[in-house]
Amino acid sequence: MTSDRLDPITFEVVKNGLDSMVDEMAITVMRTAYSGVVKDALDYSTAFCAADGQVIAQGLTIMLHLGSFPSAIQSVLTKFDGRINPGDVFILNDPYTSGGIHLPDVYIIKPVFSGAALQGFVGVVAHQADIGGLVPGSNSTESIEIYQEGLRIPTSKLYDAGKPSEAVFDLIATNVRLPIQVRGDMRSQLAACEIGERALLELIGRYSAEELNRHYEALLDYSELRARQEISALPDGKYEFEDFIDADNIKEGPVRLAVSLEIRGDEIFVDMAGSSPQVPAGINSPLPFTKAAIYGAIRLIMDPDIPNAAGYHRPIHITVPSASVVNPVHPAPVAARGITGFRTMDAVLGALAQAIPDRVPADGEGGNTLISLGGRRSDGTPYALVDFFAGARGGGSGSDGSEGVSHPAGNTASSPVEILEVENPVVIDEYALITDSGGAGKFRGAQSYVKQVTNIGEQATLQLRSDKRKFPPYGLQGGSTGSPSLNILNPGPNERLLPTLAQVELGKNEVIRHEMAGGGGWGNPLDRDPAAVLEDVIDGRVSVKAARDEYGVVLAERSSEVNEVATAKLRTELARQRGS
C-alpha cells in the first residue's frame, strides 16, 4: 500500500487537515446562506475530490448527498474534458445529464489549480428554497415527469476563467420563485468553495502537490483496507429484507424496496432486484442517490474513525435494476426522492440486522417529514416555507431511541419555530412529543412529534412528504412497531385525513396537523427495567395504561412507585399469552 511508504504522523496531519477543510466549508455555508432550508435546516453538504473525481474528504453533513459527488464530478470531467481552466466554476442539478439527485439540490463545483496543474475539486451541494416547478419549494410528489419539477441545469460553467456567466445567473433568477434567496445561497456555496480552494493551496504549499497526491492514494487505500477488515468480521451469508413506502397518492402504491445482501469474505454484494418499477410520482430515486443510501447504511456499522474517502466503497458491489423506483430512466419525476433514499437505507439495515442483531437499531420515523407551504403574502411578494423535521429513532441493543435526532441518512435540523413564523405568514400552534408513540421494547423507541401549522396568509399550496402510516417503523428482536404517521387537515369536527403524500390548497386560517411516526422498539418489552418504565410514566413518555399493557408494569395508586408483586405476576401472565 502507498501508506506503507508515508510518514504516519504526516499522514494523520494531512487527513485531519482535509477533514477540517471540508468542515470549514460547511460552516461557511451555514453562516452565510440566505434561506432557512440551508442555514437553519442545514440541507447541504461539502466535499473534496481528487483530480480524477474520487472523493477524498467529506464534510460532516448529509450522508445521502455525499455518495453522489463522484457522479457530479464525473459529469464535469466528461463534458469539459480539456476545457477545465483556473478560475472556472461549474453548476449542475440535472439527474439525467449531469449526475444530479433532484432539481432543488444544486451542485457548485470549483476546480483547484496549482500553477497550470489541476489538483482536485471542492464542491458544495445545497437544497435551494425553490427551483421552479409545480409547487413552491419544488418538492412535488404529484409530478408525473421531470419537466414539471423545475429548472434543469445541465453541467455548465457558472464562471469561465474567473468571469461570471451572467446569462446563467439570470436564467436561474428568472425561473425560480425566490431569486434573492436562491442567488444568496449560491453565493454562499461559492464562498465555501473559495475557502476550500484556499485551504487546499495552503496544504500544497506546505507539502507539495506530488506529496499530497500520494496521501490521497493512501487515504483511499487505507479506507478500503479498514472497510475490508470490518466486513471480514461479519458472518458470511445471504440476508434479505423488504420495506415499503405507502405511496398512497398513486394507484401503483405501495412501493416496494427489496434488498438481497450477501456477505462474502471481505466484500458485500447488494442487489435490489424485485424493487418496484418507477412510478408516475416524484419519489423515484436517481441511481447516485440510491448508491449513496446503500453505502451509507453499510458505513453505519463500521468504525466511525474510518476516513470518509471513496476507498470504503470498493468492497461494496451494488446491482440496481434499471427503470425501477431506485434507478429511474428519463423522464421519471424525482423531486421528492428523499423518501426513497431513506427507505433504501432502512431496508439495507433491516438485512444487516439479521447478520449482526446487536449492532443495528430498530426502525425510526422513516426520514424527514417535509412540509412545504408557499404562495404570496398580502403585499404580493412570494414566499416558500420548506420545513424538514424528524427525530424519532428506533431503540437499540443498549439504549432507547433518541428524540430530535434526524434519520442517519439526513442529518438535517428542524427549523426553529420562531424563524418559521418570522419569515412566513404562518403560526405554529403546536410542536410537541406524543405520549405512547414510541414502540415498546427492552429499549424503547423514541417518541414522535406533532407539528400543527396555521396559514394566516392568503391561499397557499401545501405539499406534504411523509410516510410510515400503513407500514409503521418496525421493531427488532421482539420490540413493537412505532406509532403510524397522520396528516390531518383542519383538525376538529370537520377534519379531513390526507394521504402520506399530498398536495392541496390551504386557505386563509386553515390548519395542517402532522403526527410523525414513532421509533420502533428493540427487545422484549417484558425485559425492560420496571424503574425505567416508571421514569417514562413520570416524564410523560408512556401512559400508566401502556406501562401495564405493553410492559407489564403495575404502578402504585399515585404512579410514584412500582408495585413489584403485581408487576411480577402480570409479567408472568403476559409472557405466557405472548409465548415469550
> Integer distance in angstroms from the first to the last C-alpha of the chain?
51
**Mean of pLDDT values over 256-271:** 98
Strands 89-92 and 156-160: antiparallel
The candidate with the shortest Cα–Cα distance to 114, out of 1, 16, 213, is 213
> Burial of 104 by CB count in 10 Å (0-12 exposed, 13-18 middle, 19+ buried)?
buried
Strands 369-376 and 316-319: unpaired
- Indicate if the pLDDT at residue 454 is higher than 60: yes
Which pLDDT score is estimated for 260?
98
Backbone phi, then psi, for 560, in 5-degree steps?
-105, -10
Per residue in 72-116, pLDDT tens? 999 999 999 999 999 999 999 999 999 999 999 999 999 999 999
Residue matched to cell numbers 424563524:
419
Which helix (DSSP H) or strand (DSSP E) does residue 203 occupy? helix 179-207
Exposure string over 506-533, b if 16+ CB within 10 A, otherwise e: beeebbbbbbbbbbbbbbbbbebebebb
236 pLDDT band, cuts 50/70/90, is: very high
The C-alpha atoms of residue 457 and residue 508 are separated, in whole angstroms, by 6
- Indicate if the pLDDT at residue 359 is higher than 80: yes
Per residue in 29-51, pLDDT tens? 999 999 999 999 999 999 999 99
The candidate with the shortest Cα–Cα distance to 37, out of 363, 370, 432, 433, is 370
Grid cell digits, residue 59: 464534510
Which pLDDT score is estimated for 390?
84
Grid cell digits, residue 268: 458485500
4 pLDDT band, cuts 50/70/90, is: low
**Mean of pLDDT values over 310-322:** 97
User: HSE on the CB side for 428, CA within 13 Å?
Assistant: 20
State the virtual CA torsion across 324, 326, 329, 330 in degrees, nearest 10: 130
For the chain, percent of residues with pLDDT exceeding 70: 99
Grid cell digits, residue 458: 392568503
The C-alpha atoms of residue 571 and residue 33 are separated, in whole angstroms, by 54
- Indicate if the pLDDT at residue 529 is higher than 90: yes
Which pLDDT score is estimated for 410?
84
* Residue ranges covered by each domain of the chain: 2-224, 366-523, 530-578
The C-alpha atoms of residue 321 and residue 227 are separated, in whole angstroms, by 26
**Mean of pLDDT values over 138-161:** 97
State the virtual CA torsion across 364, 368, 369, 371 in degrees, nearest 10: 170
SS3 percent helix, strand, coil of the chain, rounded to 5, is 35, 25, 45
Instruction: Give the DSSP letter string of 528-541.
Output: S-HHHHHHHHHHTS
Answer yes or no: are the C-beta atoms of 516 and 364 closer than 8 Å.
no
- Indicate if the pLDDT at residue 2 is higher than 70: no
Beta bridge partners of residue 428, listed in sequence order: 453
Residue 392 is given by DSSP the state: B
**DSSP E strand stretches across 40-162:** 44-49, 55-58, 89-92, 105-114, 117-127, 156-160
For the chain, percent of residues with pLDDT exceeding 90: 92
Instruction: Give the DSSP letter string of 515-529.
Output: EPPPPPPBS-GGGS-
One-letter amino acid at 25 equals: M
Quick count: other Cβ atoms within 10 Å of Cβ 160? 16
Backbone phi, then psi, for 121, in 5-degree steps?
-135, 135
Strand order in the sheet with 496-497: 426-433, 449-455, 511-515, 486-489, 496-497
- Indicate if the pLDDT at residue 386 is higher than 70: yes
Answer yes or no: are the C-beta atoms of 91 and 106 closer than 8 Å.
yes
- Indicate if the pLDDT at residue 1 is higher than 70: no
Whole-number mean pLDDT of the chain?
Answer: 95
Answer yes or no: are the C-beta atoms of 455 and 385 closer than 8 Å.
no
Q: How many helices and strands in the chain, by DSSP H and E?
A: 13, 20
Listed in sequence order, the residues at least 6 apart from 281 whose beta carbon sits closer than 8 Å to its beta carbon are 141, 142, 143, 144, 247, 249, 250, 252, 333, 336, 501
Of how many residues is the chain composed?
Answer: 580
